[in-house]
Structure 1
Amino acid sequence: MNYGKKGLITMLAAMTALTVSLSACSGGNQAEEPTNSPAAGTGNVEEPKDGKIVSSPLTLTYYVQGLGSAAPGIKTQNDIAAYQETEKKTGIHIEFQSPTTGQEKNQFNLLMSSGSYPDVIEWGWNDYPGGGVGAMNSGVIVPLNDYIDKYAPNLSKLLADHPEIKKEVSTDDGRIYAFPFLRADPYLRTYFGLGIRKDWLDKLGLQIPTTIDEWHTVLKALKEGDPNGNGKADEIPLLIKKDTMLNFSNVFLNAWGITSQFYLKDGKVAYGTTQPEFKEFLETMRNWYAEGLIDRDYAATDDKQKDAKWTGGLLAASELAVGGGIGKYMTAMSEKDPDFNLVGAPYPTLKKGDKPVLGQITPIFNSVGAAITSSNKHIEETVKWLDFKYGEEGSMLFNFGIEGKSYEMKDGFPTYTDEIMKNPDGMAFATALGQYAIPFGGPFVQDKRYQEQNVSLPQQKEALSTWMDVENGDWLPTLSLTNDESARLAAIMTDVTTYRDEMFDRFVMGVEPIDNFDTFVKTIEGMGIQEAIDIQQAAYERYLKR
């Protein structure tokens, strides 16, 4: 966010209305004294005279995931203009190290077991056993509280002004293990939901469905009504991706007031898959599948096949991201089919008029952050360098890039240029912007004004408004687990999740009778799900006392 006087005040006011409704994550709560103090490992620091952090060149090593689909010429983060400008401002050069694409977790685990670490590791720390606390307790990374207080005025002010944010980035014992990537504004925390072809609904005289019964009526009409007009019964009414439905967006299942994971039921932790409502959900999906309303190949459809079904005029509805779904397909089909109109549909309910519950929402802090390792010999300089991104100048750089190139100020609003919004080389918004800024993730505060331009189409703006109109109070917040809790929970849930996912397909495809649901529940109970619930409950109670 922009931390100018007005921007800061606006952000602070908005944050007072936040509802903390987050998915559960791993962490830890074992209290230990920090192994490093602000006086240790800082090197010999002379006060620079030019505003830089260092008076002589300094290189820090920094481990972070690769850039993915970057623009030509962008090979590492050092090719991004925001990092180049940061080096000029601070005098600190960063040597970036990244794992091989597709091998991220394996290579991260190898790095953790090596005992030799780069100066900074930017990662989703829930991947570490015991989370950020586990990494601190094992001596991989250092607690940052004292360093932040002494050397990070921008982040210090943010946390002091926003105790609700500090609660999320702290462990149960009050330690902070990383400079966090923050989605502080509610507008940034929802970006996923159901999408449907509005032009096909209009052609068949149908309204956007809001209940499970309405969805059944609409899907049947889309299957039988030949909305693509080719005279063939080739339309696919609905494509569901199991991993998305069960592990991320909660579409359709939310109508029964549950998730397939851990959530809060009457203020206590429950596991949705073993609830009676999950049986009703499975029965509905089974009936839809038997009627041909769900893509017969849903379990084997990958992202490229999904793209082909959308752009091939075959698919009527699926779960979608606002940018990589609605925006992508609207742009791809603008010339091929000018009538193509893809809109967001509400998270469904069972009863007409009820407010949807348990939609997609991401945490303010989801464990992704830049941690300083125990190998770092320049902690003071590193903290100051990281804190630069939380100030106004750094925030503008990493959210918007370079003024006059990637954005221009118009009436006080940082407006992306045509090079970003209408790239002459045909680059997508994210790819074009990635040459200058990296607002998609990193140790800083994501700015709402980035997302407002990322979702520039009316269909995207309306979808976000629709998907955000959900009561999300029963999602678990981000929790911290002890090392033992984390290890035991992982052991239990690996088996439970594998079994659940396998049985989902068997139930939906009709291989397993719905009458066997009670046996399914007993099997999960035998795997130790009550112990897992107890672990989450204990962590939740600790969270409430933070």
Structure 2
Amino acid sequence: MKTLSRLFLLLIFLLLVVGCSGNETSSEGNEKEGEEIELKDPAEVGYPDEITYWTELVPNVAATSKSLNDVAAYQELEKITGTKVEFKHPSGEGTDITEQFNLMVASGKLPDVIEYNWRTVPNGPDHAIEAGTIIRLNELIEHYAPNLNQYLNENPEVKKMVTTDDGNIYTLPFLRGDESLMVFLGMITRQDWLDKLNLDVPSTISEWEEVLTAFKNEDPNGNGEMDEIPLVVQLNDFKNIGAFVGAYGIHAQFYNDNGTVKYGSIQPEFKEFLTTMNSWYEKGLLDPDFAAIDSKLMDAKVTNEQLGSFFGFSGGGIGKYTGLMEDKNPDFKLSPAPNPSLKEGEKAATGHLEHAYSGMHSAAISGSAENPEEIVKWLDFAYSEEGHMLFNFGIEGESYEMIDGYPTYTEEITDNPDGLPMTQALGKYIRASYGGPLIQDKRYLEQYYELPEQKEAAKIWGETAENKINLPPITLSAEESEEFNSIMSDLNTYYDETVIRFIMGEEPIDNFDDFVETLKGMGIERAIELQQAALDRYLAR
């Protein structure tokens, strides 16, 4: 019954998205689309008395706080602006958040501010504006958000990212303020194992095979058993980010070849990648659990001294496991490894690289909001110099001190008296550690990365991938989105199952051409055309 109820509500949501231009929310939203409303004199607009605000409460904040009202940055913001905020936090993680977002929109009972990845909503942000779910913000930002407006005008490439093909700005965005903040995922290996076996950190595919073979055969954990697992790379690591695939000059998914969109997994180079992965799997170099491993199993493999290398985060990988193993094995040491290439001295075609704007944790104003000018002014405070310090570093004298002009976290953050890990200590004070409508400061990351290996990781991963083929944050129209999702839904299921079968040897690599033809029969060429149209529009913005 619960499942049927959810399906019914989701059906209502889809109907609302398709045709709610005649309902009450829509008429309110259309009256507030910027050009159609009479803008007030900015000097006459103050901060709102109160607002309602829907956003996820991430685990590192939920560990110490019931609501963002408990976070010091928002407590201080209320003192400065006088605005009382009623935060509405959905429960759950991942797909649960998406489901609850859809149910909220379907209900028609919308808060003033909704923080979400609006770039990925069904039918796109332009349609959400047309439907009156959220409002166009261009003119409101120009008049009432001087700090954000100045930043966007000084950074035209970022402004292009936050603007739709129809010319609409739809959120006050979470922005990564420096290139060092855009790379935080890559290959990680056991440096202490390399040292024991007199091996260098691998940088090419052939060097990786040599290292993985040594990890398997030469007992680097020293327990006298051949229980080492040389490598874990999961499906999404190479499918969505390009781990190892970039060595072959392509991305596994859609990529930009000098203005032409291609789909990497139907290229001959992807067959070469699959051949290598199948070979490593057959030789016992790739974890047999790679297709089904979860975070708990990954933790167990690392802390049980079994795993030699993996694709992971600089913070949640290098930092996390170094901390967990500090008392258990003082010799334990992880190092970042370059994005591998086929030849020494070459760069991988692609690796992990976030855009300055990806859409995550950005704030839109709903069509139900009665005072959008005041809300925009309130949200813009985070982009001011004072707000920037508040949301990146917290309260001066409590969570940070200015030392030689540098905002330095205090021991409340770095060596918390209650024993909180740094991520949770930061969550009590700031938002920069996980996003929000603000500009993230690189000085936050410089201190969050306590280990030299973490600081080195962003540099190594960033410098060893060209990333010229990565697609910018393009958006599809409502019609294109519906068609694209219809194609990719079944196609991705077939793709995931078949690629795993190729790697595990259950599907012969000789059947790769049949795989390509099946993808074409399922509509991949039409999906490429839709992505091409979106890229062309993006480049013309």
* TM score, norm. by length of structure 1: 0.90
Structure showing the higher helix proportion among its residues: 2
In the other structure, the counterpart of 1:301 is 293
Query: 1:58-457 alignment to 2 at 5 Å?
Result: 58-70=49-61, 72-102=63-93, 103-247=96-240, 249-368=241-360, 369-439=362-432, 440-457=434-451
What is the aligned counterpart of 2:530 among 531, 535, 541? 535
**Tell me, what secondary structure is at the counterpart of 1:157?**
helix
In the other structure, the counterpart of 1:500 is 495
Runs (5+) with no aligned partner, structure 1: 1-32
Partners in 2 of 1:296 and 1:123 — Cα distance? Answer: 36
**Tell me, what secondary structure is at the counterpart of 1:194?**
strand
Partners in 1 of 2:33 and 2:317 — Cα distance? Answer: 47
**Shift, 1:318, TM fit:** 0.2
What is the aligned counterpart of 2:480 among 485, 488, 503? 485
Q: Provide the aligned C-alpha RMSD in A.
A: 1.9
Alignment check: 8 A CA contact 2:42 2:144 kept: no
Alignment check: 8 A CA contact 1:67 1:77 kept: no
**Shift, 1:356, TM fit:** 2.3
**Tell me, what secondary structure is at the counterpart of 2:291?**
helix
Partners in 2 of 1:462 and 1:67 — Cα distance? Answer: 27
In the other structure, the counterpart of 1:464 is 458
Partners in 2 of 1:165 and 1:457 — Cα distance? Answer: 31
**Tell me, what secondary structure is at the counterpart of 1:180?**
coil
**1:498-519 CA deviation, whole Å, 9 max, x = no partner?**
1111111101111001111111
Alignment check: 8 A CA contact 1:289 1:509 kept: yes
Partners in 1 of 2:451 and 2:55 — Cα distance? Answer: 32
**1:166-217 CA deviation, whole Å, 9 max, x = no partner?**
1111112221000000013111011000000011001001111101011001
Partners in 2 of 1:270 and 1:495 — Cα distance? Answer: 19
**Shift, 1:69, TM fit:** 3.4
Partners in 2 of 1:514 and 1:356 — Cα distance? Answer: 23
In the other structure, the counterpart of 1:28 is none
Query: 1:2-13 alignment to 2 at 5 Å?
Result: none
Alignment check: 8 A CA contact 1:71 1:435 kept: no
Distance 1:46 1:184, change over 3 A: closer
**Shift, 1:53, TM fit:** 2.5
Partners in 2 of 1:367 and 1:320 — Cα distance? Answer: 22
Alignment check: 8 A CA contact 2:254 2:264 kept: yes
In the other structure, the counterpart of 1:25 is none
Partners in 1 of 2:326 and 2:230 — Cα distance? Answer: 21
Partners in 1 of 2:190 and 2:68 — Cα distance? Answer: 38
The letter for the 2-side match of 1:515 is D
**1:545 equivalent in alignment to 2:540:** yes
Partners in 2 of 1:459 and 1:320 — Cα distance? Answer: 13
The letter for the 1-side match of 2:58 is L
**Tell me, what secondary structure is at the counterpart of 2:335?**
strand
The letter for the 2-side match of 1:433 is L
Alignment check: 8 A CA contact 1:43 1:377 kept: no
The letter for the 2-side match of 1:328 is K
Alignment check: 8 A CA contact 2:60 2:427 kept: no
Q: Which has the higher contact order (CA 8 A, sep 6+)?
A: 1
Alignment check: 8 A CA contact 1:42 1:381 kept: no
Alignment check: 8 A CA contact 2:201 2:337 kept: yes
The letter for the 1-side match of 2:302 is W
In the other structure, the counterpart of 1:513 is 508
**1:289-325 CA deviation, whole Å, 9 max, x = no partner?**
0000011112221101101111111110000100000
Distance 1:41 1:424, change over 3 A: farther
Distance 1:153 1:253, change over 3 A: same
In the other structure, the counterpart of 1:19 is none
**1:38-85 CA deviation, whole Å, 9 max, x = no partner?**
69599999969xxx725xxx2211111122233654111110000111
Partners in 1 of 2:30 and 2:473 — Cα distance? Answer: 23
**1:21-46 CA deviation, whole Å, 9 max, x = no partner?**
xxxxxxxxxxxx96415695999999
**1:146-169 CA deviation, whole Å, 9 max, x = no partner?**
111111110111112111111111
**Shift, 1:424, TM fit:** 2.7
Alignment check: 8 A CA contact 1:67 1:76 kept: no
The letter for the 2-side match of 1:66 is L
The letter for the 2-side match of 1:251 is A
Partners in 1 of 2:223 and 2:111 — Cα distance? Answer: 58
**Shift, 1:350, TM fit:** 0.6
Count of residue pairs brought into register by the alignment:
508
**Shift, 1:425, TM fit:** 2.6
The letter for the 1-side match of 2:250 is I
When structure 1 is superposed on structure 2, of 156-165 and 69-78 the one drifting more is 69-78
